[in-house]
Amino acid sequence: MIIGSLGDIVFSVSPDKVNTIKNIKWKSSARYAEHDLHLSDTILEFVGNDAEEFSFDMHFSVHLGIDPIEQITKILTAKRSGKTMLLMLGKKAYGKNKWVITGVNTGLTTTDGSGNVIEADVTVTLKAYTG
């Protein structure tokens, strides 16, 4: 069952594969200019919104039917190319438009006796793309 996607990176659960996300964080902030007034309180002026950020963790394991290096390569390729992607969780699209991957933090947590990666933990950071 597909539970979401980031472009062609699919989050899903089935008897054969588990490829889900956790620790989801969605950050939104605004910019304000401060105007100092003599002998009075500072006045704030709204000047716009910062690009929204989204992050999540993924755990890849051959024991869960996922090739960690294959998935990491797919994520890094999207980041390196600046690919814009729609983020879906359930049937809902998140954000106003598309997202780009701005950061990937990878821990290659388990290898076999030949050095092949068996398990990996990945944190993906996205920014809203409005171009």
What is the overall mean pLDDT for the chain? 95
Determine the residue type at 41. Answer: D
pTM of the model: 0.88
Q: Does the structure show a pLDDT above 90 at 125? A: yes
Q: Does the structure show a pLDDT above 90 at 130? A: no
Fold of 2-29+42-129: Elongation Factor Tu (Ef-tu); domain 3 (2.40.30)
Tens digit of pLDDT for each residue in 33-65? 999 999 999 999 999 999 999 999 999 999 999
pLDDT for res 44: 96
DSSP codes, 81-112: HT--B-EEETTEE-SSSEEEEEEEEEEEEEE-
